[in-house]
Amino acid sequence: DGGITQSPKYLFRKEGQNVTLSCEQNLNHDAMYWYRQDPGQGLRLIYYSQIVNDFQKGDIAEGYSVSREKKESFPLTVTSAQKNPTAFYLCASSIMGTGGGNEQFFGPGTRLTVL
């Protein structure tokens, strides 16, 4: 079955700790994305990557970091610099050259709670 997996489903961390969210896809997509959802708001883009070893900041990148060492993997690290990290995080992928014109395929999400 092709798709996107995210782990874990629920994650708890203590304030001041870094935490890494996993995202893996076997769709052979070049582009991958991280979004954040907060209550009452639309999905907001954190980072995206169009190709291995390259990524760009989205609208709300502060306090986050990513890597893209393999085509199928795009982990997101929520650092202690992120002031309000409690949120639902969605990973997505698409074929290259979205330009907004190709559908995105989403993972099931990770709910992060900072205690």
**Of the two residues 58 and 63, which places its CB atom closer to other proteins in the complex?**
58
Cβ 77 to other proteins, closest distance in Å?
A: 20
Residues in contact with other proteins by the rule CB under 8 A: 4, 31, 33, 35, 40-45, 48, 50, 56, 58-59, 90, 97-109
**Of the two residues 16 and 42, which places its CB atom closer to other proteins in the complex?**
42
Q: In what order do the strands lie in the sheet with 64-66?
A: 4-7, 19-25, 76-78, 64-66
Element (DSSP H or E) covering residue 99: none
Cβ 89 to other proteins, closest distance in Å?
A: 12
d(CA 86, CA 92): 19
**Of the two residues 35 and 64, which places its CB atom closer to other proteins in the complex?**
35
Cβ 4 to other proteins, closest distance in Å?
A: 7
